[in-house]
Amino acid sequence: MLKRALIGLIRSHESTGEKVKDPLLKTRYYRMSKEQFWEEVISAVKKMPGYKVLHEVKSVGEIVLEKRTVTGRVQDITLTLITITPSKSAIDVYSASRGSLGDLGSNYRTILDIHAALDRKMKDYKTSE
């Protein structure tokens, strides 16, 4: 956590992906069709306190959220839903803070928060790839 706060002094964004070093930021996979996955993700994020859905484009699998931090800064969060096979989907998250200073690791914590909410809601469908 200290390392994340130090990185956050200069960096004001964080994202998940296939090739990230931190295992907590790896792309998440679920055994679900694109349609079912979309409905589950939308349902989960709309119930998360402090998050506001700004934009959703089902055709491209993108959901844009906004979150205010404790310090009053605004984070812009993009969820990208990806179809791997007809019965398997994945999600990547990009979170960035508005403003020029670092985020003290808040974007990292936001991604972990989103992952935790999705994992709780879809725990029976989660797969390791």
**CATH classification at residue 23:** 3.30.310.220
Q: What pLDDT is stored for residue 2 in this prediction?
A: 54
Which domain covers residue 114, as residue numbers? 2-127
Question: How does pLDDT run across 15-44, given as a tens digit for each residue?
Answer: 999 999 999 999 999 999 999 999 999 999
Q: How far is CA 26 from the centre of its chain?
A: 11
Residues (pLDDT < 50) of the chain are: none
Domains of the chain: total: 1
Nearest-CA neighbor of 74 among 52, 46, 43, 49? Answer: 52
Task: Convert 75-103 to b/e letters by CB count within 10 Å (16 or more is b).
Answer: bbbbbbbebeeeebbbbbbbbbbeeeebb
pLDDT of residue 74: 93
